[in-house]
Structure 1
């Protein structure tokens, strides 16, 4: 049997081309199941892990239909709780327990980049890098339409179906390149209900996943206050870290100074099938700059794909960036060691 939650398929337009890129079958359909869509009457968003026909398809909340949003949220809450019970928060692979990660050969990264000024059109990307060389060996970029509503704490229901599809295409086309672990631009157990996008993706793909967020999600009493900022100031060298202990006493993740020259930490949390200690070591080991290379490459390539597909202009990459990473695209709107904070997503998008 395959990983849990992989059901019937659906369509997602705009596939990438070229060697070792995921391609759709003619007339293919996205995998997923029916979380009700609060957008179009009589239709539903296909989301992995929710059985088809489980609930009716509510309309977008509006005058006389205020209960629709509540109904969607209730269905999503039940599904989130069901999948959360499947999370494994410890090491499951031999390479994770090895100090040098011996046996780890392939690390994946995923990202969803939005078309500027558009909350629906986006590019979902999956890249696979060799480890420890951190060279891109596979990429899949796909233009998608995120029609599920954005609800704080339920980001995965908007984005994960397309990322699960990308993993499925890789398994079908290049099974020898399937990553042994995925790094996700977002949170894992550091989440309002302990089940962020990294957990969701990990459970549905049955792959070890690590959540790597650029901003602190303030849950369980965690605050970006003066005390927190003082702890950040005390991080001296790349690899320094401190635990994120919630008001409940639970360690939800680690704040990691990922690069010697970075002034902002990353917030690392367990997604699935990996311990926090291994997740932090792996994140640090994947950083050439502040952002781990798998996530950074997924972001760079998804934005480049948007520009190539839609003809949107973009500034050239800085000379240093081009020389240090020859395999990257020629257009990079970010560059440098300090990556931006995902300005095209909603403020809570890393939840």
Structure 2
């Protein structure tokens, strides 16, 4: 029988989470902090990391947290850490970090202790950074706690600050012609919260890139594009593939379904929930 995390936490817990987000938000650095980030060719960048949490089908407690490190620019896997974990916090839109980030921080800590020479110089995160209800998504949270440059790479638009997936937004997507084409995500406040990126010539859906920590938006977009063999940047794609394979090897069975290489598997826009999966909105 599938296990389920208890329902929505009490308001007191949500208030604590909001206060922690507000406190940590003040530490976010949204500019380039490393010389390689300012170099057009990213000279000096040798290792890029990706993280993912994949769920056992129909189970909102059991999951696999994965961290991979790839060489750059070759994008060959140098290191992987996959581990089954039991989540205790429920999914609440806008608070995904409190559910998943502790396990990802543990994976980074293990790498620092075991093979520090393989530490990534930047982490790509399947989720949002400053493009978030309170300007502090999972990519910001992970960046602050690990002190690593982080980039938020989401597959769907988080509709905050007046951003909407409306006819105008869809027309802007249609006008993206080639891999590397972008348009800014300007909220109603006038702030540019991220960029929509056509990551691959043959991709019909953009990625939504936002600052996580210790990197400018311009560099984050360029690097995300540089990491894409397919639609999804390779560090995130490999973390997802390997976490799903680890679940299959550990628990047996055919494993989660897959689609064409480079496209997200069925259900990849979701998080494990009581009825199987929950939306990932608000990462």
Q: Would the TM-score normalized by the shorter structure come out above 0.5? A: yes
1:339 aligns with 2:280: no
In the TM superposition, residue 344 of structure 1 has moved relative to its aligned partner by 4.3
Q: Does 1:248 align with 2:189?
A: yes
Q: Which moved more, 1:94-103 or 1:144-153?
A: 144-153
**Equivalent in 132, 136, 148 of residue 89 of structure 2:** 148
Cα distance between partner residues in 1 of 2:259 and 2:57: 14
How far apart, in 2, do the equivalents of 1:89 and 1:314 lie? 38
SS at match of 1:288: coil
Q: Distance in 2 between matches of 1:197 and 1:163?
A: 11
2:138 is the counterpart of 1:213: no
Any conservation in 2 of the 1:306–1:312 contact (CA below 8 Å)? no
Give the aligned partner of residue 137 of structure 2.
Answer: 196
Q: Matches of 1:267 and 1:104 in 2, distance apart?
A: 23
RMSD between aligned alpha carbons?
1.5
In 2: Cα distance, 1:105 partner to 1:348 partner? 31
1:46-57 alignment to 2 at 5 Å? none
Matched, 1:275 2:216: yes
Structure showing greater radius of gyration is 1
Q: Would you say 1:237 and 2:178 are equivalent positions? A: yes
1:292 corresponds to 2:218? no
Aligned to 1:52: none
Structure 1, unpaired ranges of 5+: 1-37, 40-59, 62-67, 316-331
Residues 110 and 350 of structure 1: CA distance in aligned 2, closer, same or farther (over 3 Å) = farther
Q: Output one character per residue of 1:64-107: Cα deviation in whole Å (capped at 9) or x when no partner.
A: xxxx6101101101111111111000000000000000000000
Partner in structure 2 of residue 55 of structure 1 = none
5+ residue gaps, structure 2, are 272-277
Match status 1:82 vs 2:23: yes
What is the match of residue 348 of structure 1? 280
Maintained 8 Å contact 1:191/1:217: yes
Alignment of 1:166-185 (within 5 A): 166-185=107-126
Give distance in 2, aligned partners of 1:187 and 1:254.
11
Per-residue deviation, 1:125: 0.2
Partner of residue 33, structure 1: none
The 3-state SS of whatever aligns with 1:264 is coil
TM score, norm. by length of structure 2: 0.93
Please state if 1:165 is matched with 2:106: yes
Cα distance between partner residues in 2 of 1:312 and 1:121: 15
TM-score (norm 1): 0.75
Any conservation in 2 of the 1:238–1:257 contact (CA below 8 Å)?
A: yes
**Helix, strand or coil: the match of 1:129?**
strand
Answer yes or no: is 1:124 the counterpart of 2:65: yes
Tell me how far apart the structure 2 counterparts of residues 95 and 195 of structure 1 sit (CA, whole Å).
25
Secondary structure class of the residue paired with 1:172: helix
Instruction: Answer 1 or 2: higher relative contact order, Cα 8 Å, separation at least 6.
Output: 2
